[in-house]
Chain A
Amino acid sequence: MKFKTFFWFVAPSVFMMLLFIAAPLISVLIQSFQITQPVMQQIEVETCTPGFLTQTCTTEVKTVPVIDEATGRAQTTTEWVGFQSYRNVLQMDKVWSALGSGNWGKILQIDFWKALRFTLMFTLVTLPLVVGVGLMIALAVNNAAKALRGPVIFISLLPFIITPVIGSLSIYWLFVGDGILTATLERWLDRDIAMFGQAWTIELLMYFYRVWHVAPFAFVIFYAGLQTVNMDTLESAIIDGANRFERLRYVIVPHLMPLIIFIALIHLMDCYRVFDEIIGFRSQAHVISLQWLTFDFLTPDDAGNRAISRAAASAMLTMVGIVILLILPLRRTWRDHKGGAH
């Protein structure tokens, strides 16, 4: 295919990605160094209250925004503030003082570090669970009678396809206050349980939800991979005296290795963006993630202001994190591509 034809085929797609992905990235980078504020002025206001004989008048100096006469809105100025927004998000002074005093737990009370801790731990804890559970389901389905496979795949797809917010809500309702599973647990253990009262139980439920939601994806891919396992290799492994576990460990898992890497890569990307769980479990008081932090800065507060520059700074920091996480897998792809070209 000539370059010109290729160009016209990919042009619309590339244009959309440049306009709606690359351009916003640059815009976020610029915003994170700027701060936009309403212009304030100090004016003297005299307020008088009726009194006996004479009015009681007080004058005070008030700070009010300057109103643009043409549009009727508050005038704003934009100034360059360097790393100010990053400092506001990272709060390094508190971090250093916490490190200095040896009181490490205090770092996790700062929103950004709290979110970072949860996001990373969430990604790393669920990854092996998803791969393990997915592989187990795939092996079990592969063992099952042919007639059962269709319905099992249907049921397995449900947690994967359900809207993430709704999926986490459905688990939230099972455990909320007097939800059915909390009531059952209380009866077994004979004590009061509040699953949403402290951070660690919420986190456990979030791990459970994520594995429940993503394991079907891993299962379907592993199941397809299992269909292509070389039967001759398996039989020679038996002749060589390999037991069931050794066959799994030395024949099947190496065969599935590219798929495991693929799932790990996708899972890394998706888990790092963990967000819907926070909404579904309503956990913002206890557990927050990096993406939720940016979302929170972007949501208007009671006065209707959005903390755009702090959102931009936290977004840039989030992005740096995903780039660091992805460098290794991408270098591998690049090496494979170059290796394939030779």
Chain B
Amino acid sequence: MSKATAQPLSLKLASGAFLAFWCLIAAFPIAWIAVMSVKSPRDAFDASAWNVITGPATRAAGNGLSFLDIALGLVVLYFAIRWAFTRLPGLVEQYSPAGFIVLGWLVGAAVYGLLFVLIFFGALPVVFGVLNSIAGPLGTPILGLTTEHYVAVWGENEFYRNFINSMIVTAGVVTVSLTVGTLAGYGLARSGSNLAFWLLIIALVFRALPHSVLVAGYLPWFINSAEILRPILGDLSPTLYGQPWAIIAVLVAINQPFTIWMLRSFFQNIPSELDEAARVDGCSHFQAFRRVIMPVMWPGVITTGLFSFLLGYNDFLVTALLLDAQNQTMVPAIAGYFNRETTTTDQVEAVAAAVSITAPLFLLVMVFQRQIVSGLTAGAVKG
């Protein structure tokens, strides 16, 4: 180690303590709502932190985990996660048809998620029930835990409808904005003209626009679109207000400035000798893009796709104003709980809904941490 990086012990301790403190602050609110969501309302809003964690009222109501449950549950969880990282990739590659590896992963992840839920919430409780009755002191509940709020949110309140809407909107946003964005990003990266520069600057200004400004522009047109379009489209003219595909178009456009900036900086990292070689071999510009550049661009495309996903998934303002209650996505739907939030049960159900929205994002960071970091630094460090 060089002298420049050598540090006294006190400084090391201080920096370690600061880091630990930051990690605590970063994780605490999220971890805490996860804990609250599995307790009975009385425990969830208890004044003592210990009671919230152990959940005496939840345990008294007969919902609890024994020492045996926790130990065995952790073992099963460990193997389930290990299996996902060691065996699952092989299976997906084996069974997905050539060229459809992305689709294979989507199906694989969905099947895995379904199996996971079935085993954890269907099979394990039955097995544990039998084991606990014969285990004696190890089998008595020590930790209160209940899934009733999740059942209420996803079952009675039909949160799965909002989930499906969210998935439709985000899937649309990701596919369309990547298709349109990669073309533009490639064009902008390979053209050094003044026009390209001005396009990028205008895109930067567009990126700064508050979304409410744009929505104020859409609303009157979207509500009256059936009458405005009637002379052109006849009786087929749709009312755009409340249509998921109209939201997709809007979110793609809002996301375009960011997408083309990011993809452009990824394309600039690919040496232009590559497309020149393809052009010499007789490819047109588009063929070079399709057959030579795209295959080496996947990391950049995946990263940009992640950020498009986040935009579509996290959006509140646009979806709240342009979709009606029947096909609302998850994030605005949770605002509906505010109005009903009169009892503590409603509050804990809102917490459970919030955790349900966060869980996919948590998985996303786990799987794609490297891509997210590279995406964040792509714009800043290289461009």
Q: Which positions in A face B, CB cutoff 8 Å?
A: 1, 3, 5-6, 8-10, 12-14, 16-17, 19-21, 23-28, 31, 36, 136-137, 139-141, 143-144, 148, 150, 152-159, 161-167, 169-171, 173-174, 177-180, 183-184, 187, 212, 216-217, 220-221, 224-225, 228, 231, 234-235, 238, 244, 259, 262-263, 268-269, 272-273, 275-276, 279, 282, 290-292, 294-295, 297-299, 306, 308, 311-312, 315-316, 318-319, 322-323, 326, 330, 333-334, 337
The residue in chain A whose Cβ has the minimal distance to the Cβ of B383 is A262
30 contacts between A and B (CB under 8 A): A5-B187, A6-B193, A16-B249, A21-B256, A24-B214, A24-B218, A28-B213, A28-B216, A31-B216, A137-B19, A143-B12, A148-B19, A154-B369, A155-B27, A166-B354, A212-B29, A221-B376, A224-B377, A225-B381, A231-B4, A235-B2, A268-B208, A290-B210, A294-B215, A299-B321, A312-B216, A315-B210, A315-B216, A316-B213, A326-B208
- Tell me, in angstroms, the Cα distance from A85 to B199 when the chains sit together: 33
Chain A nearest Cβ from B239, distance in angstroms: 13
- Tell me, in angstroms, the Cα distance from A299 to B316 when the chains sit together: 13
B343 adjacent to chain A (CB < 8 Å): no
- Per-residue 0/1 for B205-230: is the Cβ within 8 Å of any A Cβ (1 yes, 0 no)? 11111111111111111000000000
7 closest A-B pairs by CB: A24-B217, A9-B187, A20-B253, A13-B184, A183-B47, A294-B212, A224-B377
Chain A nearest Cβ from B315, distance in angstroms: 9
Residues in B with CB closer than 8 Å to A292 are: 212
Interface-facing stretch out of B70-78, B103-111, B156-164, B357-365: B357-365
Q: In the complex, are the beta carbons of A161 and B187 less than 8 A apart?
A: no
Given known A-B contacts A12-B180, A318-B213, A220 and B358 have beta carbons under 8 A apart: no
- Tell me, in angstroms, the Cα distance from A17 to B207 when the chains sit together: 11
Given known A-B contacts A144-B16, A161-B364, A262-B379, A291 and B217 have beta carbons under 8 A apart: no
- Tell me, in angstroms, the Cα distance from A294 to B254 when the chains sit together: 17
Q: In the complex, are the beta carbons of A234 and B4 less than 8 A apart?
A: yes
Q: In the complex, are the beta carbons of A161 and B361 less than 8 A apart?
A: yes
Residues in B with CB closer than 8 Å to A155 are: 23, 26-27
The residue in chain B whose Cβ has the minimal distance to the Cβ of A21 is B206
Q: In the complex, are the beta carbons of A294 and B19 less than 8 A apart?
A: no
Residues in B with CB closer than 8 Å to A23 are: 217
B188 adjacent to chain A (CB < 8 Å): yes
Q: Which positions in B face A, CB cutoff 8 Å?
A: 2-4, 7, 11-12, 15-16, 18-19, 22-23, 25-27, 29-30, 32-33, 36, 45, 47-49, 52, 179-181, 183-184, 186-188, 190-191, 193, 195-197, 199, 201-221, 249-250, 252-254, 256-257, 260, 285-286, 289, 310, 313-314, 316-317, 320-321, 331, 334-335, 338, 347, 350-351, 354, 357-358, 361-362, 364-366, 369, 372-373, 376-377, 379-381
Q: In the complex, are the beta carbons of A178 and B183 less than 8 A apart?
A: no
Q: In the complex, are the beta carbons of B365 and A154 less than 8 A apart?
A: yes
Q: In the complex, are the beta carbons of A158 and B30 less than 8 A apart?
A: yes
Chain B nearest Cβ from A206, distance in angstroms: 14
Q: In the complex, are the beta carbons of B212 and A216 less than 8 A apart?
A: no
- Tell me, in angstroms, the Cα distance from A220 to B217 when the chains sit together: 36
Residues in B with CB closer than 8 Å to A330 are: 201, 204-205
Q: In the complex, are the beta carbons of B254 and A20 less than 8 A apart?
A: yes
Which of B12, B49, B320, B357 contacts A166 (CB under 8 A)? B357
Given known A-B contacts A19-B253, A165-B331, A276 and B316 have beta carbons under 8 A apart: yes
The residue in chain B whose Cβ has the minimal distance to the Cβ of A330 is B201
Main secondary structure of the interface of B (DSSP, over half): helix
Given known A-B contacts A21-B254, A235-B2, A6 and B7 have beta carbons under 8 A apart: no
- Tell me, in angstroms, the Cα distance from A17 to B48 when the chains sit together: 52
Which of B18, B48, B195, B377 contacts A221 (CB under 8 A)? B377
Chain B nearest Cβ from A34, distance in angstroms: 10
The residue in chain B whose Cβ has the minimal distance to the Cβ of A233 is B4
Which of B18, B32, B214, B361 contacts A20 (CB under 8 A)? B214
- Tell me, in angstroms, the Cα distance from A243 to B323 when the chains sit together: 59
Chain B nearest Cβ from A267, distance in angstroms: 11
Q: In the complex, are the beta carbons of A291 and B45 less than 8 A apart?
A: no
Q: In the complex, are the beta carbons of A212 and B373 less than 8 A apart?
A: no
- Tell me, in angstroms, the Cα distance from A231 to B3 when the chains sit together: 10
Given known A-B contacts A1-B187, A24-B217, A136 and B313 have beta carbons under 8 A apart: no
Residues in B with CB closer than 8 Å to A19 are: 253
Q: In the complex, are the beta carbons of A10 and B187 less than 8 A apart?
A: yes
Chain B nearest Cβ from A36, distance in angstroms: 8
Given known A-B contacts A269-B208, A337-B197, A1 and B191 have beta carbons under 8 A apart: yes
Which of A6, A13, A25, A225 contacts B213 (CB under 8 A)? A25
The residue in chain A whose Cβ has the minimal distance to the Cβ of B382 is A224
- Tell me, in angstroms, the Cα distance from A16 to B259 when the chains sit together: 13
Residue with the greatest number of chain B CB neighbours at <10 A, chosen from A12, A13, A152, A333: A13
- Tell me, in angstroms, the Cα distance from A62 to B204 when the chains sit together: 53
Which of A17, A136, A148, A221 contacts B257 (CB under 8 A)? A17
The residue in chain A whose Cβ has the minimal distance to the Cβ of B184 is A13
Q: A6-B195, A268-B208 are in contact. List 19 more A-B contacts (CB 8 A).
A: A1-B190, A17-B206, A19-B253, A20-B253, A25-B214, A31-B216, A156-B23, A161-B372, A166-B334, A169-B354, A170-B30, A177-B45, A220-B377, A221-B376, A221-B381, A273-B212, A294-B213, A294-B215, A294-B216
Q: In the complex, are the beta carbons of B213 and A10 less than 8 A apart?
A: no
Residues in A with CB closer than 8 Å to B219 are: 298, 306, 308, 311
Chain B nearest Cβ from A87, distance in angstroms: 18
- Tell me, in angstroms, the Cα distance from A295 to B215 when the chains sit together: 9
Q: In the complex, are the beta carbons of B214 and A21 less than 8 A apart?
A: yes
Q: In the complex, are the beta carbons of B212 and A178 less than 8 A apart?
A: no
- Tell me, in angstroms, the Cα distance from A295 to B210 when the chains sit together: 11
Chain A nearest Cβ from B142, distance in angstroms: 21
Which of A143, A161, A179 contacts B365 (CB under 8 A)? A161
Residues in B with CB closer than 8 Å to A294 are: 210, 212-213, 215-216
Residues in B with CB closer than 8 Å to A315 are: 210, 212-213, 216-217
Q: In the complex, are the beta carbons of A140 and B22 less than 8 A apart?
A: yes
Q: In the complex, are the beta carbons of A163 and B215 less than 8 A apart?
A: no
Residues in A with CB closer than 8 Å to B380 are: 221, 224-225, 259, 262-263
Which of A156, A174, A299 contacts B22 (CB under 8 A)? A156
- Tell me, in angstroms, the Cα distance from A221 to B347 when the chains sit together: 37
